[in-house]
Amino acid sequence: MMTETKPKAIVLTDGLLQTADAKTAHGLIRGTERYEIVGVIDSQFPGRDAGEVLDGIHRNIPVLASVEVAIQSIKDIQCCIIGIATVGGKLPVHFLPIIKSCIQNKISMVNGLHDFLTGMAELVTMANQYGVTLTDVRKPKERKDLHFWKGDIFNLKAPVIAVMGTDCALGKRTTCRMVKQACAEAGINAQMIYTGQTGWLQGGQYGFIFDSTLNDFISGELEHAILSCAAETSAEVLLVEGQSALRNPSGPCGSELLVSGNAKNVILVHAPKRKYYDEIPEWGMIHSLASEIELIKLYGSTVIAVAINTEHCTTEEALDFQKKYEAELQLPVLLPLQQGVEKIIPIVKNLIKN
């Protein structure tokens, strides 16, 4: 837990707050130990509370129409976080004037996209002129800082639980954080390994950014993060945030967690109303929950629970899906946003005992 004063930050989503592209902002609105989120810049929802726009929960984070409005109403804003994760990590062109406005008002920028602000000469010049920093979270590590897989993961006694999904942008990170928090409330020392930029932005202490790591070192970075965390925190259980999905053709991912990270247990997140990978028909239909569970079993791991992303579902539909899957799969099915994740705690306790 970070004890120093957290920098005040605004989050930029302009026009995208209610879309899946704003999942970085969604995570930061729900909670971060690294920053104090004091506002969201989005011209589509000015005057509303960001939490209410996101999921109906008031979080005292105002949505503001512009950086200028934010400065007038909020004191001592130190940084602006680009709160989107677009396909391919591209920076929307219309964000550039807003970024320049931040810099001119002496607000540092934090960016989680693949388009690096430090690679844009004009922004670098402006940042130097106004005395602010440009932080590109997704910049790859230097070779000297990368780790190669050793196999020491097999000596780890604490259980490793991977939170995986049947597609992208389903709430794997949010579910992972919620399980960690539920474990803490139950007196269990659970630690989370982040694998994306939002996990770092939310204050993650152990992890790496999967999609900016050279392929040769992904397994080693994963192993290093898990083992470092276990050694330094005496974790009773390690929770690993998944990325993409085992069979998403735009970026199949997850086998590394099961094989290189030796995650023998999986919480699988699924959106029952989503038909296609990334909601693009040309990419193919998402495979069934049952077949994904079987695939994970072939890797030597066990799905211990399913978590439902209830996008486009009414409360009644969500409860019906929960009942259906529990009967069909003979597994506990979580509704994280509606009911929390406490149902997983007895299973975690049992894993620790064994």
CA distances (Å), origin 59, targets 25, 37, 188, 203, 351: 13, 10, 27, 19, 35
Task: Give the C-alpha separation, 309 to 182, whole Å.
Answer: 18
Predicted pLDDT of residue 354: 78
Under DSSP, is residue 193 helix (H, G, I), strand (E, B) or coil?
Answer: strand
What are residue 108's phi and psi, to 5 degrees? -70, 155
Q: Is 133 exposed, middle or buried (0-12, 13-18, 19+ CB in 10 A)?
A: middle
Predicted confidence at residue 323, as pLDDT, reads 98
Q: List the chain domain ranges.
A: 8-136, 145-353
Range 8-136 has CATH code 3.30.460.10: no
Per-residue pLDDT for the chain (354 aa), expressed as one digit of tens each?
444 689 999 999 999 999 999 999 999 999 999 999 999 999 999 999 999 999 999 999 999 999 999 999 999 999 999 999 998 899 999 999 999 999 999 999 999 999 999 999 999 999 999 999 999 999 999 999 999 999 999 999 999 999 999 999 999 999 999 999 999 999 999 999 999 999 999 999 999 999 999 999 999 999 999 999 999 999 999 999 999 999 999 999 999 999 999 999 999 999 999 999 999 999 999 999 999 999 999 999 999 999 999 999 999 999 999 999 999 999 999 999 999 999 999 999 999 987
pLDDT for the residue numbered 1: 45
CA distances from residue 165 to 22, 60, 162, 195, 210 in whole angstroms, order as listed: 18, 30, 10, 14, 15
Using CA atoms, how far apart are residues 61 and 49, in angstroms rounded to an integer?
6
Decide whether 8-136 matches 145-353 in CATH topology: yes
Q: What is the CATH number of domain 145-353?
A: 3.40.50.300
Backbone torsions φ then ψ of 40, nearest 5 degrees: -125, 130
Burial of residue 283 (CB within 10 Å: 0-12, 13-18, 19+) is: middle
What are the helix (H) ranges across 75-214?
96-104, 121-130, 172-185, 197-201
**Rounded distance, CA 236 to CA 351, Å?**
10
